[in-house]
Amino acid sequence: MSETATHTDPNAPIIAEFRAHNGRVGGMFEGVTLVLITTAGRHTGKPWTTPVVAARDGDRWLVFASNAGRPHNPHWYLNLVATPQVTMEIGTDEGRVKPFAARAVPLTGDERDTQWDLQCARNPAFRDYAAATTRTIPVIALHPLDLTGDPARARLIAEQLIRHHEDLRAEIDQVRTRFEHALAGEPDPGALDTADADDLAGRLRRHCLTLCRHLQLHHIREDGAFSAFEREYPELVPAIRRLRAEHAVVEKALAAFAALLERAAGPDRGPDAEPAHLRAEFEAVSAGLEEHFAYEEAHLLPALRG
Ligand SMILES: [Fe+2]
Ligand SMILES: [Fe+2]
């Protein structure tokens, strides 16, 4: 489901190695400090995970939109300018990579120049990147979410996450309505044109993929926010452990359902394409999701509301 899992993303092996080795990557990145950042696609809303060279600067992290000296800014930079909420993954003392919610703030003026010069002194390749482009390479500070002594902020963030469940539930209901039309043999009011009116699996595939990436982005954001909740509210640790595990289960179930739709929408349809079968599979996935939403709502909000 993750775009990082597709063979079209050249960063996928680096991302996998990073996650498997507590943030360490060999080869050309041996000894280089990397973090993973996940931004929301500015056009697609799709989560976009990318490894970036980073430098720790007190409580914040600095990243550099060098794009290896190419003439244009990288996608992740354009994404975070549009939506500054990002999720960072970094290696930890616990021996495993952890996600952190962070706010991205591009540096300006002297502060940008000073931090850029420091980065070039640490890693001379960055001097070459600057020489290769006419761009002023952006330097961005990532401020990890810190809820210390700020219960009102913790509540607000949890409430925003939970409010998002309502949007996701509405999307699930829309997909369900489409199944009902198909099972009743009625034309789909959402069909784009008459040519695809019979292509239930193809249409569902498009709707479900949209739903899947909204869910994926929601869970990535939650995983990052959970790290801040855990620090501030130790009593939430067991519930959060379960919620994180459920995110992984949901991700797998969605990937399996997307693969089923892919087969059902393909030329070799077979019984996979039967609307009743597709609907049964969809209902199984959405029941699991609803259980997850309900557990999250029952455990996060009461604790954060004190
Ligand atoms: Fe969740
Ligand atoms: Fe959630």
CA of 228 to the centre of ligand 1 (A): 15
**Which residues surround the ion ligand 2 when the cut-off is CB under 5 Å?**
296
CA of 246 to the centre of ligand 1 (A): 7
Q: How confident is the model at residue 1 (pLDDT cuts 50, 70, 90)?
A: very low
CA of 293 to the centre of ligand 1 (A): 6
CA of 66 to the centre of ligand 1 (A): 34
Position 134 pLDDT exceeds 90: yes
Summarised one tens digit per residue, pLDDT across range 158-213 is 899 999 999 999 999 988 888 888 777 776 666 544 445 556 777 778 888 888 88
CA of 56 to the centre of ligand 1 (A): 29
Structure confidence at residue 256 (pLDDT)? 92
Summarised one tens digit per residue, pLDDT across range 50-73 is 999 999 999 999 999 999 999 999
Looking up tokens 């909420």, which residue turns up? 85
**Which residues surround the ion ligand 1 when the cut-off is CB under 5 Å?**
222, 296
- Token pair of 228, please? 């801040």
Structure confidence at residue 198 (pLDDT)? 58
Position 5 pLDDT exceeds 50: no
Average pLDDT score over the chain: 89
Starting from the CA of residue 292, give the closest ligand: 1
Position 219 pLDDT exceeds 60: yes
Structure confidence at residue 177 (pLDDT)? 87
CA of 162 to the centre of ligand 2 (A): 6
